Amino acid sequence: MYEQYYGLVEKPFNLTPDTEFYYQSLTHQEALNVLLVAIKSGDGFIKLTGEVGTGKTLLCRKLLDLLGDDFQTVYIPNPYMSCDSLLRAVVEEMGLLDSLKGDDYLSCINKHLIENARQNIQTIILLDEAQSLPVESLEAIRLLSNLETKKQKLIQIVLFGQPELDTKLQQKNIRQLQQRIVHACYLDNLSIQGLARYVEHRLDAAGYFGPRLFNSSAIKSLFDNTKGVPRLINLLCSKAMMISFASGEFYVTEKHIQVAARDSKQVNRSFSKKASVAIHTGITVLITCSFSQIIEPLL
């Protein structure tokens, strides 16, 4: 809606994990460096955790982009599945279904890993949303990590998850898995300075050329309302730009951020009260009404 108004080639604050918009904040770069060093060192288990909306999936996809032909990667975006289903998903992602005999997943995977090792190809499994893994499936992950030769691990496993993953790994029945994690890193929220650079970076990536679009009071309000969580920043920035556009203004100020924040809170409250109805029929109407009620005083 507002792309042409601001001279953009695409929306700058979409919620999808597009690596073209990856912002190299201090916390993200430190985490990415740890992941790359650990992977290239051949260490078996690696864990990255962070709160909801801090950019774990985007970082995972950035990592996939950086790994070259010396790596075979297996990306499982939603590992909430049984032990056998998870192993089958790994077999399928490796392209081994034709080689599978019955349900002997581990044997099939092991043969493939040995062949990869002979060709100096490292095999890496990346599990996103790993906090959703059932305990029995975590046991499957442990079994995969047992695949090794006398000299090296045949497979590396990277777990991306919310802090609940740490709680799950502390259970006594899977403590062996916890002990095998060689490297662990945590994604922190953006600082206010990082938030300002993040906003400018995404606008630049979307094709914006011009004076600073978000003034300092808007940035401070963004930080106060989002606490530096990238997903929330994207949500409020997109709404604030739409509000500015709809009111015939251009630059985004504190006023627009506050209106966007109030709108988001109204939508969330209404959704929680009427979720069963809104999901099927009313969410579009709800959002439209909320915006019109708030934008009207600005016109």
Residue 290, pLDDT above cutoff 50: no
Pick from 113, 24, 112, 15: which is nearest to 63 by CA? 24
CATH-assigned architecture of domain 190-298: Orthogonal Bundle (1.10)
3-state DSSP call for residue 178?
helix
Q: How far apart are CA 3 and CA 1, in angstroms?
A: 6
Please report the pLDDT score of residue 33 as a whole number: 94
The domain spans of the chain are 26-187, 190-298
Please report the pLDDT score of residue 10 as a whole number: 95
Q: How far apart are CA 46 and CA 65, in angstroms?
A: 18
Pick one of 3.40.50.2300, 3.40.50.720, 3.40.50.150, 3.40.50.300 as the CATH number of 26-187. Answer: 3.40.50.300
Kind plus residue range of the DSSP H or E element containing 87: helix 83-93
How many angstroms separate the Cα of 237 from the Cα of each of 1, 234, 253, 254, 275?
A: 14, 5, 11, 11, 25
Task: Name which of 69-73, 238-242, 263-267 the model is least confident about.
Answer: 263-267
Residue 68, pLDDT above cutoff 90: no
Residue 289, pLDDT above cutoff 60: no
pTM (2 d.p.): 0.84
